[in-house]
Structure 1
């Protein structure tokens, strides 16, 4: 299954609009929420790596994985694990 790059750009634009709209509504609160979620995302990715080290499983830690886990939370970490198992295996 191949996802067209147009759909990926549309999704990125919609996500960007949602994030920017949060800044205009409550700038300080939205910035704090994004920083907090990215930090928690980093911790989730590190936790998966720590547990995965016993199972010989590794999710690479980079800005994309941190932002994915930070924006989406636990479902984002689950998506990263699923992508690692199914697509990149």
Structure 2
């Protein structure tokens, strides 16, 4: 059996370490910018969740309003909200 010199797991770990290094250097270099993006994402996620709940009240639908759903909606935007709604309907059918 032929062995490859670099297993795939090494490449995945290398990519993960490189991404973590890049993220840490960005946070150290621009802490205010990162904090502003985080606050902006949380606020936008809260607005998206509240909009879904406002429209959903006419269809007797409620998406939970918590930190995880707010951050998901904020970071992923409209597709993230759609994914949250789809997951909620799939996992908790009414």
Smaller-chain TM-score range?
Answer: 0.7 to 0.9
Does 2:36 match 1:32?
Answer: yes
Per-residue deviation at 1:21?
4.5
Q: Pairwise CA RMSD of aligned residues?
A: 2.2
> Which residue is equivalent to 1:46?
50
Does 2:72 match 1:68?
Answer: yes
Measured at CA, do residues 23 and 87 of structure 1 come closer, stay the same or move farther in structure 2, by a change above 3 Å? same
Measured at CA, do residues 20 and 48 of structure 1 come closer, stay the same or move farther in structure 2, by a change above 3 Å? farther
Give the gaps of 5 or more residues in structure 2.
1-15
So what's the TM-score if we normalise by structure 2?
0.69
Per-residue deviation at 1:22?
3.5
CA distance in 2, matches of 1:19, 1:63: 22
Q: Which runs of 4+ in 1 moved over 2 A?
A: 16-22
Given candidates 77, 81, 84, the residue that maps to 2:85 is 81
Alignment deviations for residues 21-80 of structure 1 (CA, whole Å, 9 cap, x no partner):
531242111110110011000000000000000011110101111111112111111111
Q: Which structure has the bigger radius of gyration?
A: 2
> How many equivalent pairs are there?
76
